[in-house]
Structure 1
Amino acid sequence: MMGRPGGLETLKSRCNSSRSLSHSGSYHILDIEIDRGFEPCDSGMCHTVQGDIPLYKYSEVPHFLQGNPYVVHGYRVLLPFNLCVKSLFIWSNETLNIWSHLAGLFIFIYLLLYDNIIVIPANNGSLADHVIITLGIFCFQFCMACSAGFHIFCCHSERASQRWLAVDLTGISMGIIGCYLPAVHYAFYCLSIWRDLYLIIIFVLTGATLFIQLNPNFLKPSWARHRLLIYVGLVAYGVVPTIHWFVENGGWESRVVQLFVPKVIVVYLLGMLAFFFYISKFPERLFPGMFDYVGSSHQLWHVVILVTFLWWHQAGNEILLFRTSHECEA
């Protein structure tokens, strides 16, 4: 269901009403204002009406929603909590951003159960295997949930948008840990000292990234390039343990190297593809307004990230099978 086009007078009214900060009959969770005694169906959340949620043009929305001038239509603006949730069921320029990662969350919930109940026991896995696989999938779930949450509530208010951006960035850090954790554990399965050292380094780097987020400037648009470089560096660090693992296993002559180096290459190619969409704003840069609802760069970024996580999860299961069926050399 497509939301109706909004008018400037309606938007001005919303802006004025949003300036009345805290009401005695409401409370806040992550800067989302929720009425006390909130009942979903009484608020109208159970019935989505097209006229409830107007959509606006890029030129009409507040500055904190102006991130991509090539996405011209379909913006939700200053919605209360119940309409943010209801907007899940209308067609806006955030619909695919939201549902791509909500779907990812549900997929990884299923994979968490499937791996622990079927895959790991079938491969004679240990308790440590259950823990590592579970933690890795949980990181992916957390990333998907944080991303979907940001895109649902970023239109609530400027403060909520900033708070949920911080949540989203935290989810990205967790998603990166989810990639490293099983990979390093199984790659250095027979070299526990190096395994522990690399895991410690990864957690320290991720902790430093989260600490930098506390800087008041970190979430400002002027820091967008710095944020991007920090996360690119965090991902690129994975080349270091990969080269070490390659050498320790005897190079291309090793069966395990032949099996898994191509998978590592694919995951980095997918990462570069996602990065390309994120920074280039392709394809909407070439045809402004054409990809407002389907096919914009951020939507493609979401899909590629989900595919990357799924690819790496499958690779993790395959290296689990390899390690449980091959003894460590003395």
Structure 2
Amino acid sequence: MPLVSFAPPSLCLTFSTLLDRLLPSLPSTIRDVDAPPLFRERFILSGYRPVGLSWRCYLLSLFQIHNETVNVWSHLLAAVFVVMRFMVFIVLQGGGILGFRLQGPEGQGFSVDVASLPLVLYVFSAVTYLSCSAVAHLLQSHSEEAHYSVFFLDYVGMAVYQYGCALALFLYSSDIDWSQSMLGQVFLPSAALLAWFSCTTGCYAKLRFRRPYPLHRKLCQVVPLGVAYLLDISPVADRLLTHRWTSNPALPLHFLQVMLFLSSAFFFSFPIPESFSPGRYDILGHSHQLFHILLSVCTLVQQEALFEDFLWRRPALLRRFGEERLLLAYLSFPCLTLCCTMTALFMRRRAQAQLMKEQR
């Protein structure tokens, strides 16, 4: 007599079955030996998506388990959290960001609040880099041309975020004495130049070097980013070194985000833990995933710190810097974005020409 089980199916099995019904079947992942060299990562032996599928397959692979799944979802969810937290902050402040008021004697309206604009640009830059990164890791396996194109977009997003951070930290998080120092006087132009330089060197290193990557490829990526970060974080470092951390609730948050960034930089620079056990961390736990997760948390913590600094510095921002100087500083943001975008488009053309030359 056959045995009949009345146990309910497991939740994971039910969810997996539901996904199979709702979504078309996707090709199974492949091992590194079956993937072209451009798409391989050191010590990651499996979980690669086949190259040359339709764009639809790569979009749907958002719901597939592969070695890029955590990289995509970590930044995608972080982008959503950044926007949601910003909206909650606006509501808790009764509106007022960019002049929009939920309540007030003059009724609802919309006007530009110059003192709030750096915070809006910061949130925009954070969402930009997180979204560009998620798109790059989701779509990069389509083809060699797509691989170069989406990662050039990723470098643009990183540069935009660098300068968005620099702008907000300079205006909200710096002390008066520091902003009037020699470093403070050249801070924003230098930050913009280094952000563009980081984008350029990232694109160049991606296009110039082939596997097995030499050491100077990593240096070409890490050194400009490191120098840019040291400059961008200098207003915060000055406060952390010269103030008691109990004097302002933003200071412990700034310290935490610095520690998170340094931790993420470590995992970006070194293939740990996968180098100790190749193949074991292919799907979950390899260094680039840890880099993404730590950087996402770092961004969320930094946003909280800037909220505190914004509430502290916003009332006096116009008196301190003047409206004309602030507007000039804001104008540099789209200028930097345009320069980085043009650089990425130029590098994309170089990549197309290089691929066509190799195919002949």
User: TM-score scaled by structure 2?
Assistant: 0.68
Pair 1:275-2:261 in alignment = no
Going from structure 1 to structure 2, the CA distance change for 1:123 and 1:259 (only over 3 Å counts) comes to: farther
User: Following TM superposition, by how much is the alpha carbon of 1:212 offset from its aligned partner in structure 2, in angstroms?
Assistant: 4.4
Displacement of 1:246 in angstroms is 6.5
- Residue in 2 aligned with 1:27? none
Task: Specify the alignment match of 2:193 in structure 1.
Answer: 204
Cα 1:246/1:89, change in 2 over 3 Å: closer
Q: Which residue of 1 aligns with 2:46?
A: 73
Cα deviation code 1:119-178 (max 9, x no counterpart):
374899991343111100000000011101111111000111011111111111122223
Report how far residue 81 of structure 1 moved: 0.4
| Counterpart-to-counterpart distance in 2, 1:254 and 1:262 | 6
Tell me if 1:95 matches 2:69.
yes
What corresponds to 1:174 in structure 2?
Answer: 160
2:76 corresponds to 1:86: no
The root-mean-square deviation of aligned C-alpha atoms, in Å, is 3.3
For residue 224 of structure 1, the aligned residue among 218, 232, 235 is 218
Matched, 1:233 2:239: no
In structure 1, runs of 5+ residues without a counterpart are: 3-44
Q: For residues 196 and 114 of structure 1, what CA distance do their matches in structure 2 show?
A: 34
* Alignment deviations for residues 66-95 of structure 1 (CA, whole Å, 9 cap, x no partner): 122x22111002122011111111111111
Match of 1:5 in 2: none
Q: Alignment identity in percent?
A: 21
**Aligned letter for 1:203?**
A
Q: Does 1:48 align with 2:15?
A: no
Give the partner amino acid of 1:168: D
> Can you give the 5+ residue segments of structure 2 that lack an aligned partner in the other structure?
1-11, 14-19, 100-111, 321-360
Aligned pair count reads: 281
Secondary structure, counterpart of 2:128 in structure 1: helix
Q: Describe the superposition over 1:238-295 as per-residue Cα deviations: whole angstroms up to 9, x where unpaired.
A: 3544455568xxx336975x65444333222111110111222212222222221111
**2:276 corresponds to:** 286
Q: Distance in 2 between matches of 1:288 and 1:58?
A: 12
Instruction: Point out the more displaced range, 268-277 or 315-324.
Output: 315-324
Aligned CA distance change for structure 1 residues 171 and 285 (closer, same or farther; 3 Å) = same
Is 1:136 the counterpart of 2:122? The answer is yes
Q: d(CA) in 2 for partners of 1:186 and 1:277?
A: 30
- How far apart in 1 are the matches of 2:312 and 2:221? 37
Larger relative contact order, structure 1 or 2 (CA cutoff 8 Å, min sep 6): 2
Instruction: Give SS of 2:72's match.
Output: helix
Cα distance change on mapping 1:323 and 1:240 into 2, 3 Å: closer
* Residue 104 of structure 1, aligned match among 68, 71, 78: 78
In structure 2, do the counterparts of structure 1 residues 200 and 117 end up closer, same or farther at CA, with 3 Å as the change threshold?
A: farther
**How far off its partner does 1:108 sit?**
1.9
**TM-score calculated relative to the size of structure 1:** 0.73
- The verdict on how the C-alpha distance between 1:319 and 1:95 changes in structure 2, with shifts beyond 3 A counting, is same
Q: Indicate conservation of the 8 Å contact 2:267/2:290, yes or no.
A: yes
> What's 1:9 paired with?
none
